[in-house]
Each structure stands twice: as C-alpha cells, then as structure tokens.
C-alpha cells in the first residue's frame, strides 16, 4: 500500500500495529552543526513547528546524530520551547547502536548493556519518560539476536519504549529476529528503516518483500540520495567541496546514468509544475510497502519543498519511465526464479493470473514419463 495521502495529516498505521504516523517523517540528522553540515537550533525549532502545523506527527532521531545534539534540540523544544506540552501528541523515534564513548567496547552495539545505557542517555537528552519507536540502528555481528530482542522486549515492558524496529539490517537477520520474538512471546518488530531511492533500488529484491510479508512498515531514508536527486547538480554544474552541500564533487552517484535520470525527473517535474525533488520523493512514497518516508532539510525552503510532495500525483507513464531508467541489476536467485522457474513449476497452466509456457523439457506424453 502506498502513501496516497493528499495531505500530511492523512495518517497511516505503521506496520502491523495501531501506531498512526504521517506519510512523511521529519529526520533530525541535520539538527545541529556538529557534523559540519545542518542547521542551528533556532532553524531546527522552526522546522519542527512548521512540520507540526502542517499535520506531521512523526520525528526520527538517533543517539549519534550531531553527537547527540539532535536529541537535545528535541528535548528542549518539547519542554521549554514552542512545543511545550505537546510531547504526547507526536511520535518520536530514536536509534541506539552507535558508540558515543570512544575506547569503550560496550559503548555501542546491540548488547543489553549498550542498549540500556544508550536509551537512558536518549531519554535524558530528550527530556522524556518514553520513546515511541526505538530503532536498532544497524546489525551488530557480535551480539546474539536473541539477546537484542529480549532486551528490546524488556524496555517495552518497563514502559520506556512503546514500539521497536530495525534499521539497516540484512533481510535474513530481520526474519530471525522477528521469529525469535514471535516464538518466545516477546515484543515483535513493527517497522524497517532502509535506504531507498531511485538510485538505491536493490532493497526491492529481499528487504521490501520481507517487510511486507512480516508486517513491517518501511520508512525509507535518503529518498533524494543526499541531494543528488534534487536536480541542482548537472553535467555542467557539479557540486563544490565548500561545505554548502553533502554531495562531493567526486560522488560515485554522479554518473552519466544518473544525469540521464535527472533529465527525466526534470521533464516530469516541469510537466507537473513542481520541483525535481518532489518527483523523486513522491516516487519513493508511492512504492508498495512504504509507509512514512524520512525527509531531511537544512532550511525552511527545503522543508516546504519536501512537504509539497504529498500533493503531487505522478502519472502511470511517469512512474513507468522512472522505473525503466532505474531497474536494479539482477542478482541470484531472483532472476533465475523469475525467468526460468515459473514454467517448470506451473506446467503451462495459469495460476493467480500468471500464465507461463509449458516447460519444453518436461515429459510430453505418458510414454515419455518414467
């Protein structure tokens, strides 16, 4: 199901849960200047206010973004700032896993010690008693998955966390984690956060279908590939390494195929009277399984432009054109199973609306069958 809302306040339930979230989620990786890009506290607060006024209710943070400053900005906003008294009206998500304590082997990862410590620090910075959605930020190969899932369940039972999700994990790990939880009676995952854009579509082979089968609502990050798909970079106007953009002049994404894609995005945008960024963002919002797409802005202008994507309607031919230009390379076993096996299984019949030719190597008569 795609996010077909005409407005930011047309809410969507996240995954197999009753949690209602807006079709766009406000990312906070740009809140604070500690990473060399982003925006100061006053601009961050203004963007939160604009997002909430437009009907948005879903905000995504992380313990490590801007060295923790992003969470502090949220905490100040909802306690002593413009959002005072509104904390319970929003869905605040944050992540653990990144190490904030160099030299401490237990400072990061998905162990119980690291997780509990990170959550306590996030609660302190955000000046709140609970986290609506806690993401395990990335796979920790050193921690058994059952320890991570049991620890997340303990946080939910303690009331410090309401819902849980995985970010940037392989599909097989997500499946293992979900079934550990289901078989043991622990809190299940409701959401999956992954990179997804017209430039990053490999997630369509395993992560996206896995999420749909397991009831995980997908919240894509970097739908504009850090600004590459905004349309501001062309063959003649490449980015400058002067701190004004996160995109580097030697970016591996600025290839001829990307410029061909950007040309198409610009043509579609012109036909609709919108910006290229809105076209690229809307394409992600419309993908099956996507529930709330994470946007990141450094200015009010960027935020307003992103929010306007809610009202855009891409034509079927627009989507088909973009799909054709960005079809990801085939990987095993998906090409094999899609192109060679259906006829072998179906025996020339039609199943669920899909017809296949008969397999030529099958016995053609009783006399040929051993």
Kindly report, residue by residue over 6-57, the tens digit of the pLDDT.
Answer: 699 999 999 999 999 999 999 999 999 999 999 999 999 999 999 999 999 9
d(CA 296, CA 351): 43
SS3 5: coil
In a domain, 364, yes or no: no
The pLDDT, as a whole number, for residue 1 is 40
In a domain, 35, yes or no: yes
Please name which of 144, 146, 148, 153 lies closest in space to residue 186, comparing C-alpha atoms.
Answer: 153
**Tokens 């450094």 found at:** 298
Please give the mean pLDDT across all residues of the chain.
94
| H helix or E strand, kind and range, residue 13 | strand 12-13
What is the pTM for the complete model shown? 0.93
In a domain, 334, yes or no: no
In a domain, 367, yes or no: no
Tokens at 101, concatenated: 């304590």
The pLDDT, as a whole number, for residue 112 is 98
Pairing between β-strand 24-27 and β-strand 58-60 as defined by DSSP bridges: parallel
Bridge partners of 27? 60
pLDDT band at 236 (very low <50, low <70, confident <90, very high): confident
pLDDT at residue 68 is higher than 70: yes
Tokens at 172, concatenated: 């097989």
pLDDT band at 240 (very low <50, low <70, confident <90, very high): confident
Q: Which of the 8 DSSP states describes residue 346?
A: H
Residue 37: exposure state from Cβ atoms within 10 A (0-12, 13-18, ≥19): middle
pLDDT band at 253 (very low <50, low <70, confident <90, very high): confident
In a domain, 257, yes or no: yes
Tell me the percentage of the chain whose pLDDT exceeds 90. Answer: 84
- The total number of structural domains in the chain stands at 1
* Residues classed as catalytic: 65
- How many residues can be counted in the chain? 370
pLDDT at residue 301 is higher than 80: yes
pLDDT band at 172 (very low <50, low <70, confident <90, very high): very high
Question: What burial letters (b/e) apply to 55-82, b meaning 16+ CB within 10 Å?
Answer: bbbbbbbbbbbbebbbbbbbbbbbeebe
* Domain CATH for 101: 3.20.20.100
Kindly report, residue by residue over 312-324, the tens digit of the pLDDT.
Answer: 999 999 999 999 9
The pLDDT, as a whole number, for residue 49 is 98
CA atoms within 13 A on the CB side of 61: 29
The pLDDT, as a whole number, for residue 3 is 46
In this structure, of 46-55, 224-233, 240-249, the range with the lowest mean pLDDT score is 240-249
In a domain, 211, yes or no: yes
In a domain, 362, yes or no: no
d(CA 149, CA 177): 7
The pLDDT, as a whole number, for residue 4 is 52
The pLDDT, as a whole number, for residue 98 is 97
Taking residue 172's Cβ as centre, other Cβ atoms within 10 Å add up to: 10
Kindly report, residue by residue over 326-364, the tens digit of the pLDDT.
Answer: 999 888 999 898 888 888 999 899 999 999 888 899 998
Longest dimension (CA), the chain: 84
Q: Which domain holds residue 74?
A: 12-326
The pLDDT, as a whole number, for residue 51 is 98
pLDDT at residue 2 is higher than 60: no
d(CA 272, CA 310): 13
In a domain, 335, yes or no: no
d(CA 129, CA 260): 49
pLDDT band at 244 (very low <50, low <70, confident <90, very high): low
pLDDT at residue 92 is higher than 80: yes
Kindly report, residue by residue over 282-293, the tens digit of the pLDDT.
Answer: 999 999 999 999
């Amino acid at each position: 199901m795609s996010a077909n809302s005409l407005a930011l306040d047309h809410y969507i339930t996240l995954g197999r849960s009753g949690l209602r979230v807006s079709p766009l989620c406000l990312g906070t990786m740009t809140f604070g200047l500690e990473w060399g890009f982003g925006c100061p506290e006053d601009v961050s607060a203004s963007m939160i206010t604009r997002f909430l006024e437009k009907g948005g209710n879903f905000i995504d943070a992380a313990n490590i973004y801007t060295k923790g400053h992003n969470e502090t900005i949220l905490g100040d906003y909802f306690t002593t700032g413009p959002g005072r008294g509104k904390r319970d009206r929003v869905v605040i998500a944050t992540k653990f896993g990144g190490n904030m304590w160099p030299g401490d082997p237990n400072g990061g990862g998905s162990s119980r010690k690291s997780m509990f410590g990170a959550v306590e620090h996030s609660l302190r910075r955000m000046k709140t008693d609970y986290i609506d959605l806690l993401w395990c930020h990335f796979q920790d190969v050193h921690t058994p998955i059952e320890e991570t899932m049991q620890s997340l369940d303990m946080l939910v039972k303690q009331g410090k966390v309401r819902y849980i999700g995985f970010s940037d994990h392989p599909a097989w790990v997500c499946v293992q984690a979900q079934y550990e939880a289901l078989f043991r009676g622990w809190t299940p995952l409701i959401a999956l956060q992954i990179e997804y854009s017209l430039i990053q579509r490999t997630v369509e082979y395993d992560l996206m279908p896995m999420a749909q089968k397991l009831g995980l609502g997908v919240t894509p990050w970097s739908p504009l590939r850090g600004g590459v798909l905004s349309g501001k970079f062309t063959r003649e106007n490449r980015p400058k390494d002067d701190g004004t953009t996160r995109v580097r002049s030697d970016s591996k994404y600025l290839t001829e195929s990307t410029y061909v894609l950007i040309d198409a995005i610009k043509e579609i945008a012109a036909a609709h009277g919108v910006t290229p960024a809105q076209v690229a963002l809307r394409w992600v919002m419309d993908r099956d399984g996507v529930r709330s797409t994470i946007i990141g802005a450094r200015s009010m202008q960027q935020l307003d432009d992103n929010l306007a994507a809610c009202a855009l309607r891409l034509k079927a031919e627009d989507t088909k054109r973009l799909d054709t230009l960005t079809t990801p390379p085939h990987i095993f076993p998906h090409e094999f199973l899609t192109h060679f096996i259906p006829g072998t299984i179906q025996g020339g019949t039609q199943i669920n609306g899909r017809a296949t030719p008969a397999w030529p190597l099958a016995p053609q008569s009783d006399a040929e069958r051993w």
